[in-house]
């Protein structure tokens, strides 16, 4: 009797039709176009939600007075975000870009489905109520999740899935900033997706599509209006280099202070404690320094477009500093020092946001303070504050993200400041060279780098990172007990295809190994069969691997022991299997071909 034929779903029929009629490389271009549209729409929804919430909450504030509601709104925002994450999402959605890097290096490009919407909602609540973080990292995670889940829906292979994750990141940056070039460069520098002819076109399509949709829906103006009043002079190059070094040091301060603060929050084992401490810190800082409220883009616009102290003094509106014009620089320096704690308290207390906006915010203030202070020193000559504020944005972004090209192209596209392309390059490179002396990894990648889970442009390390120890473990080795005699051992050997025999106790813990070569000279002497037990025949393995070891650790252990096969055990010593160099090399070669395929 024939088995009933299962009916294929519409999706299965479409996938089959696609495989027969549309080549994969052409279908990837179609998917990248769809990803670009999805990223632009997600970015538009997020920005609209944030603007609506902020307008609703702060639209009636009086600029000449301190507003005590600043003490309330951030706490409510963090509480609502935490409640939403715990009750509806039930997953950690912080550190969006880090999650993308982890998905590429350890999850074969798979990002959970809820990330297509959860970060968008959580960050809009957090930032709308005053959380001192950015919306860009959450939208980058959203875009990458769209690409990943779209690829999974159509059963795309791992390499294509990783490319679509990159397309989502590129489309998100391009859509939210109207910066298509920066979107591609960001994916290459920060997401560390290798640039090949197969990957370049999908990335460009996703970026250009997202930026085009953003232009159609929000207008063709740059995100930050910038008018160049004074052209760059080559005589100012030394000061531009000094600004880059200053930005690198500020980036170092921001990176280390944020990590230290978030680590302190991570040690708090109660959500209400995190909310209480984070909310109090954030509310007090925003009450004292209102520019810390939300993304801080109003402050950036003010500093970039202002031309006199009277314009710039508006930064102190809604605060106790209002009307004290001689306190402007001190006010900005205090913001420069406290922004990192406001951002850390937002995320540590239960909010959701990234460091894109804080980097731009800090960079603008750092550049402005540098130029304004320098202008008070006679021998420096005049440095245009707005130009240096623009350069500072590129410098801090390059330092925090370890991405000098992203800093240059993003700021040029954000502001239309292409006339300052040379000083933007100088500042970005100077800042990057300064911070890498102290921090080899960006704020996004340092957590994964410490665990050996970071995918890099170094091809050999990238492949070892992508490989998982559990995938190369061989389990067809026959185990023996230490108390059996040599006669029983010979019967096991006669049915085995291997020449290594792990010796385990009653609990399955590895005691040693028996090598066929070591007993070959006595195995045919039957008079010895009952004289020797396995315990007398076994030897200690040259080394042991843990299932939790990454592939770099595995290869290091092979080099140290000069072994060809090593046993794998659990943390408590229970035997799992063996890893052989042959298996590792075969897996390595297959993954290398997959990564370098054009």
**Residue 35 clears pLDDT 70, i.e. is over it:** yes
Q: What number is the average pLDDT over the span 235-253?
A: 93
Q: What number is the average pLDDT over the span 543-550?
A: 78
- The predicted model scores a pTM of 0.75
* pLDDT, tens digit, 9 for 90 and up, residues 192-201: 666 666 778 9
pLDDT at site 281: 92
Could you tell me the residue ranges of all domains in the chain? 10-218, 234-457, 463-596
Q: Give the least confident one: 121-130, 486-495, 500-509.
A: 486-495
List 575's β-bridge partners, or say none: 569
Top-ranked range on mean pLDDT: pick from 146-155, 206-215, 377-386, 581-590: 206-215
Q: Residue 466's pLDDT band (boundaries 50, 70, 90)?
A: low
Q: Quick check: 543 and 563 in contact, CB under 8 A?
A: yes
Higher pLDDT: 488 or 278? It is 278
* pLDDT, tens digit, 9 for 90 and up, residues 512-533: 888 877 776 676 676 666 777 8
**Residue 130 clears pLDDT 50, i.e. is over it:** yes
- In CATH, the architecture of 10-218 is Orthogonal Bundle (1.10)
What is the C-alpha separation between 539 and 514, in angstroms, rounded?
6
Average pLDDT of every residue of the chain: 82
Q: What number is the average pLDDT over the span 22-46?
A: 91
Task: Report the CATH fold assignment for 463-596.
Answer: CBS-domain (3.10.580)
Q: What number is the average pLDDT over the span 544-555?
A: 76
Nearest to 133, CA basis, from 275, 346, 290: 346
Q: Give the least confident one: 150-154, 188-192, 290-294, 449-453.
A: 449-453
Q: Quick check: 444 and 432 in contact, CB under 8 A?
A: no
Q: Are strands 545-546 and 565-569 parallel, antiparallel or unpaired?
A: parallel
What is the C-alpha separation between 541 and 575, in angstroms, rounded?
12
Q: What number is the average pLDDT over the span 142-149?
A: 90
Q: Residue 204's pLDDT band (boundaries 50, 70, 90)?
A: very high
Q: What number is the average pLDDT over the span 257-269?
A: 86
What is the C-alpha separation between 173 and 187, in angstroms, rounded?
9
Higher pLDDT: 183 or 465? It is 183
**Residue 249 clears pLDDT 90, i.e. is over it:** yes
**Residue 567 clears pLDDT 90, i.e. is over it:** no
**Residue 447 clears pLDDT 90, i.e. is over it:** no
> Which CATH superfamily includes the segment(s) 234-457?
Clc chloride channel (1.10.3080.10)
Q: Give the least confident one: 97-111, 133-147, 559-573.
A: 97-111
What is the C-alpha separation between 167 and 173, in angstroms, rounded?
10
The reply to whether domains 234-457 and 463-596 share a CATH topology is no
Q: What number is the average pLDDT over the span 315-335?
A: 79
């Amino acid at each position: 009797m024939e088995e009933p034929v299962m009916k294929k779903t519409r999706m299965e029929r479409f996938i089959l039709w696609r495989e027969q009629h549309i080549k994969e490389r052409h279908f990837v271009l179609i998917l990248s176009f769809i990803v670009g549209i999805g990223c632009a729409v997600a970015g538009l929804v997020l920005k609209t939600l944030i603007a609506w919430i902020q307008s609703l909450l702060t639209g009636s504030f009086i600029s000449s007075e301190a507003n005590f509601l600043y003490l309330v709104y951030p706490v409510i925002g963090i509480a609502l975000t935490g409640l939403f994450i715990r009750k509806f999402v039930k997953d950690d959605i912080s550190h969006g870009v880090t999650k993308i890097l982890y998905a590429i290096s350890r999850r074969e490009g798979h990002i959970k489905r809820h990330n297509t919407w959860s970060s968008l909602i959580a960050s809009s609540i957090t930032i709308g109520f005053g959380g001192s973080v950015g919306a860009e990292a959450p939208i980058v995670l959203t875009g990458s999740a769209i690409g990943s889940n779209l690829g999974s829906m159509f059963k795309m292979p791992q390499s294509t899935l990783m490319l679509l994750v990159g397309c989502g990141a590129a489309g998100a940056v391009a859509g939210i900033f109207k910066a298509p070039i920066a979107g591609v460069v960001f994916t290459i520098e920060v997401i560390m997706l290798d640039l090949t002819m197969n990957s370049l076109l999908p990335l460009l399509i996703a970026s250009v599509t997202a930026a085009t949709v953003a232009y159609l829906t929000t207008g063709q103006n740059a995100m930050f209006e910038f008018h160049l009043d004074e052209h760059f002079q080559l005589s100012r190059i030394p000061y531009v280099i000094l600004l880059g070094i200053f930005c690198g040091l500020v980036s170092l301060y921001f990176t280390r202070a944020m990590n230290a603060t978030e680590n302190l929050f991570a040690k708090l084992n109660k959500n209400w404690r995190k909310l209480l401490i984070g909310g109090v810190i954030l509310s007090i800082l925003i009450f004292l320094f209102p520019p810390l409220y939300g993304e801080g883009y109003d402050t950036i616009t003010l500093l970039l477009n202002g031309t006199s102290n009277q314009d710039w003094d508006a930064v102190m509106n809604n605060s106790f500093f209002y009307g004290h014009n001689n306190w402007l620089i001190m006010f900005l320096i205090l913001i420069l020092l406290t922004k990192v704690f406001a951002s850390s308290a937002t995320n540590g207390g239960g909010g959701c946001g990234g460091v894109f906006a804080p980097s731009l915010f800090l960079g603008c203030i750092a550049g402005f303070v540098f130029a304004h202070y320098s202008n008070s020193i006679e021998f420096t000559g005049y440095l245009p504050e707005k130009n240096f504020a623009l350069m500072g944005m590129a410098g801090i972004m390059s330092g925090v993200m370890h991405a000098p090209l992203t800093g240059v192209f993003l700021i040029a596209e954000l502001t239309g400041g292409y006339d300052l392309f040379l000083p933007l390059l100088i500042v970005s490179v100077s800042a990057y060279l300064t911070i890498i002396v102290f921090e080899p990894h960006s704020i996004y990648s340092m957590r994964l780098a410490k665990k050996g889970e970071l995918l890099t442009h170094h091809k050999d390390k990238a492949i070892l990172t992508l490989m998982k120890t559990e995938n190369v473990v061989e389990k067809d080795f026959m185990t023996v007990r230490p108390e059996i005699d040599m006669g029983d051992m010979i019967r096991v050997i006669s049915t085995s295809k291997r020449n290594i025999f792990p010796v385990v106790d009653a609990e399955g813990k590895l005691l040693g190994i028996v090598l066929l070569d070591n007993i070959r000279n006595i195995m045919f002497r039957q008079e010895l069969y009952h004289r020797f037990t396995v315990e007398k025949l076994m030897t200690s393995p040259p080394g042991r691997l843990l299932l939790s070891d990454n592939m770099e650790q595995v290869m290091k252990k092979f080099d140290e022991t000069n072994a060809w096969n090593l046993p794998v055990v659990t943390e408590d010593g229970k035997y799992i299997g063996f890893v052989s160099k042959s298996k590792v090399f075969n897996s390595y070669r297959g993954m290398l071909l997959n990564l370098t395929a054009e």
